[in-house]
A and B are shown apart, each in its own frame.
Chain A
Amino acid sequence: MESQPVIQLEGIRKTYLMGPTHVNALKEATISIARGEMVAIMGPSGSGKSTLLNIVGCLDGPTGGRYILDGINVSQMSKDDLARVRNEKIGFIFQGFNLLSRATALDNVKLPLLYADQQVVADMDRKAMESLSWVGLGGHSHHLPSQLSGGQQQRVAIARALINNPSIILADEPTGALDTRTSTEVVDIIQKLNIEKNITVVMVTHEPIIAQYCRRIIRFRDGRVQDDQEITRPRSAAEDLKSMPVEVEE
């Protein structure tokens, strides 16, 4: 099991039709990511990194090529099956947090469970509380997103991504809307879930500093992998936090 990569992309192509012209967003991507890796995907806008993330996240199907996620070929799956795969195997973290504004933190974290099979209502609350506590927000379960700071909102989103015990977590510019210290805190949690829970993390970012926390950086340009680089000694967010001044939150 460990020998098999959790994400295996073979010659993935993606073509969009925009008016009369075909846009080749992804020309040829062959990437293999092993279980437990923490990978940063970088590249200028239009390089195809967002398209890749959509395909890896099963939000979109490839035009050509093969995608095997956790041993399952998902490249030709129906919409309903893809929804199921997203529910069971993938956790998303977005730049804009994407929490339901009228639902409490607890209800937001619970959301994936509502669409999963065979869940007991009492279990859902317990699992959601565990997940919230894990990101350090056990005391904020009944707050609305508007009552939480940006960093706290992103942590709620991380708790939501974690709740179904996914195989991979996909983070799309997770620190894009946060200041430096809060960014580092969020990255710290992502590093922790990668190490402590052994969950594979794929993170799209354009901030080189954030990419430095990953163990591998894949650079995209013009719809192709330009560069695939191992980081032998990634930075530790926990270490960096110690040297940062503590800002007072209101």
Chain B
Amino acid sequence: MRLFRNLNIALNGLRANKLRSLLTVLGIVIGVAAVIIMISVGQGAQAKITAQIESMGANLLMVFPDFNRGAVRGAGGNVNTLTREDAAAIAGIPYVERVAPELSVNATIRFESKTWTASVTGTTPDIQQIKNWFPEKGSFFDEKEITDIATVAVIGKTVADNILAPSDDPVGKTIGINNLSFTVLGVLPEKGASLGGQEQDNIVYIPISTAQVRMLGVNNVRLINVQARNPESMGFIQDLITNLLRERHRIPQDGNNDFSIRNLAAVLATAEDMTRIMTLLLASVAGVSLLVGGIGIMNIMLVSVTERTREIGIRMAVGATEKAILTQFLVEAVTLCLLGGFIGIVLGIMGSRIVSSIAGWPTVVSFYSVLLAVGFSAAVGIFFGYYPAKKASELNPIDALRFE
């Protein structure tokens, strides 16, 4: 009841000075809106990066031939240290869920009169589970077609869109790849651009054996995708792969690896750390503007105390205690800040939407960032409102009444 009455006194005070109240809260409005926009943009960026890395494959290790050190051993600079046999051996390591080698080459795809250049990649059926990417029409090739070195292909969305008419059923069509005829088994759904901005849908998957024997005439692979059963096992799987490949490639004790292993979980963690730091950085810059807004509130409250000295004297003369005056001015400051906070939240949410439509990534206005903004603005109100309120409450009623 007491609090309600104090709130009422304070609100009347603010209502009596509408324009000034509004100008006072502007700093807080901008500060809160900035904090919300920055946090939501940061979290949106983080979510987008995470999603993109995960689209490359969950719990994924990628084994590459090492171009720098391995080339010393390779004949004529030809990097051919990794083979399908290496892949098969890696598949035997405990906690390895799936293994899929890849060997790609850019090639011209032909269908009837149309031609198109795409990345033709030899692989195994496990690539579907590793990349969580299954044909939307038709099916993938299987182990038998690898054994048979069959000329079958699964095509990406971009390839399908560029060589086939929308009305065509791609399944069963015969396409030409570098003068060889392939039967289309299926079409993969759209995956979008990768983290590096690379187009992932301009692809044709063919059996790894076909790529090695019929397309390129080699027996190495370009990389081996290794999927771990869970994130925790990735570290020791990485160690086991290193030991296994060093043994298989007969690398002496003091020799350098002729391969390198990229841990996508580590990449993901680094990227998440970076965006988190970015978010924090952006939010602290926004926080500074909130602080400046708070100082603005203190400034206005101090002016207001001086300007309203006589009012304070009148209130004291009719029986306001020090505590009542302190509460009134504190409530005024906090109300101003909260008012600014709420306007700021609305503007912040609108701003986030605008940023998300311009930047093209989803922004996440989290409950926690709103809570943070409101809490912060109330704290700013109490912190910066206390000093002026204290000053007001300590006025001597006689001097205050005489104040001109």
Q: Which residues of A contact B (CB under 8 A)?
A: 54, 57, 59-60, 79-80, 83-84, 86-88, 92, 94, 98-100, 102-103, 107, 111-112, 114-116, 160, 164
Contacts and interface: CB of A to CB of B under 8 A. Distances in A.
Given A94-B401, A98-B401, A114-B9, A88 B311 contact: no
A207 to B, nearest CB: 20
A100 B314 contact: yes
Nearest to B15: A102
B318 A59 contact: no
Contacts of B324: 83, 115
A111 B328 CA distance: 13
B222 interface: no
Given A103-B12, A107-B12, A114-B5, A80 B318 contact: no
Interface string B308-330: 00110111111111111000000
Given A54-B398, A80-B321, A102-B16, 14 more contacts: A59-B316, A59-B398, A79-B322, A83-B322, A94-B401, A98-B313, A100-B311, A103-B12, A111-B318, A114-B8, A114-B320, A115-B315, A115-B319, A164-B319
Contacts, number: 62
A7 B324 CA distance: 28
A102 B11 CA distance: 13
B12 A79 contact: no
Interface in B1-15: 5, 8-9, 12
Nearest to A160: B318
Given A94-B401, A102-B17, A103-B16, A84 B319 contact: yes
A98 B318 CA distance: 11
A57 B398 CA distance: 10
Interface in B344-378: none
A102 B308 CA distance: 11
Contacts of A103: 12, 16
B311 A86 contact: no
Contacts of B189: none
A87 B319 CA distance: 4
A98 B16 contact: no
B70 interface: no
Interface of B: 5, 8-9, 12, 16-17, 310-311, 313-324, 397-398, 401
A98 B319 contact: no
Contact of B318 (A54, A79, A86, A102): A86
Contact of B321 (A83, A112, A160): A83
Contacts of A84: 319, 321
A115 B310 contact: no
B93 to A, nearest CB: 78
Nearest 8 pairs between A and B by C-beta?
A87-B319, A102-B16, A112-B318, A115-B319, A83-B321, A80-B321, A115-B320, A86-B319
A83 B316 contact: yes
A105 B9 CA distance: 15
A80 B315 contact: no
B347 to A, nearest CB: 29
B315 A59 contact: no
A125 to B, nearest CB: 13
7 contacts: A60-B398, A80-B321, A80-B322, A83-B321, A94-B401, A103-B16, A164-B319
Nearest to B401: A98
Contacts of A54: 398
Contacts of B317: 57, 59, 86, 92, 98
Nearest to B308: A100
Contacts of B311: 100
Contacts of A60: 398
Contacts of A107: 12
B401 A88 contact: no
A120 B319 CA distance: 17
A164 B5 CA distance: 17
B363 to A, nearest CB: 42
A69 to B, nearest CB: 14
Contacts of A87: 318-319
A86 B8 CA distance: 22
A80 B397 contact: no
Most central of A94, A98, A107, A115 by chain B CB within 10 Å = A115
A115 B16 contact: no
B184 to A, nearest CB: 80
Contact of A80 (B8, B313, B314, B323): B323
Contacts of B313: 98
